[in-house]
Amino acid sequence: MVIAALLGVLEGLTEFIPVSSTGHLLLAGHFLGFQSAGKTFEVVIQLGAIVAIMSVYAGRLWRVFSTAPHDPASRKFIFSVLLAFAPAVVIGVLAHDFIKRVLFESPILIAIMLILGGVVLVVVDRLPLRPRFGDAMALPRAVAFRIGLIQCLAMVPGVSRSGATIVGALALGVERRAAAEFSFFLSMPTMAGAFAYDLYKSRAVLDGAAMGEIAVGFVCACLSGIVVVRWVLDYVSQHGFALFGWWRIIVGTAALLGLWGLG
């Protein structure tokens, strides 16, 4: 249970920053000798992160859904998020077994993707990008859909869902803070869908001990996620994403060295 709690904290700390929470969880579990049934723990505890982001944005979400029947802007925002979510549904369902049985079991691949993603973040952060869209809740549908397509790259552990969506949004002309916020909003249906589908697919291998570990991880992920969400928007608005890029490079390199040293 101690390891489950530590991994839950790690999930909450890394889910909403572009460093790949799943990559961190899988590598940490590999080196700590933690094996969850069907690799379900690493996916299902994301529910804690979902609760964290929903609690932080509860007021805005309530305004959007309560005004949707008579406010075209609210309906447009909801449709844009669902449109961006659609590609992940298709790819996630079709490739679920391959992702869990092959990609989740490839720590070397995860470490390499951490490093490559870190290099991308550092480079993108230095580009003289000119943002055209400054409101995460008013992105054109075409831009939202393209961000959703780019999000599918994160099916490979180590890429980072938030990293892919944020970099994609920046490249499409979205301002830094708005890019991070849209990534947050898109995370809600994406992680909820992944949670529900993975729980359904793995229902046969989950016992009481596994559910206990998931419960502990959920609580820890939720509490640590709330802290990160409140901090990250202000940070990226002022400092950009280079710090997260260098963190990925360091962690990925350390993981490769550890894997090499341990054979």
Q: Tens digits of per-residue pLDDT, 49-82? A: 888 888 888 899 999 999 999 999 999 999 999 9
Residue 89 has pLDDT above 90, yes or no: yes
Burial 161-195 (b: 16+ CB within 10 A, else e): bbbbbbbbbbebbbbbbbbbbbbbbbbbbbbeebb
β strands within 143-263, DSSP E:
none
Compute the average pLDDT of residues 231-254.
88
Side-chain half-sphere exposure of 245, counting CA atoms within 13 A? 19
Weakest mean pLDDT among 41-45, 46-50, 122-126: 41-45
Write down the pLDDT at residue 210: 67
Q: Which H/E stretch holds residue 257?
A: helix 242-262
Answer for the pair 214, 83: CB distance below 8 angstroms, yes or no: no
Q: What is the mean pLDDT of the chain?
A: 87
Distance of CA 111 to the CA centre of its chain: 17
Residue 222 has pLDDT above 90, yes or no: no
Read off the tokens for 20: 């790949």
Residue 118 has pLDDT above 80, yes or no: yes
Q: pTM value?
A: 0.86
Compute the average pLDDT of residues 15-31.
87
Higher pLDDT, 154 or 39: 154
* pLDDT-based confidence at residue 38 (cuts at 50, 70, 90): low
Helix (H, G, I), strand (E, B) or coil at 131: coil
Place of tokens 């080196």: 31
* pLDDT-based confidence at residue 37 (cuts at 50, 70, 90): low
Read off the tokens for 66: 């309560």
Residue 153 has pLDDT above 80, yes or no: yes
Write down the pLDDT at residue 205: 63
Residue 203 has pLDDT above 70, yes or no: no
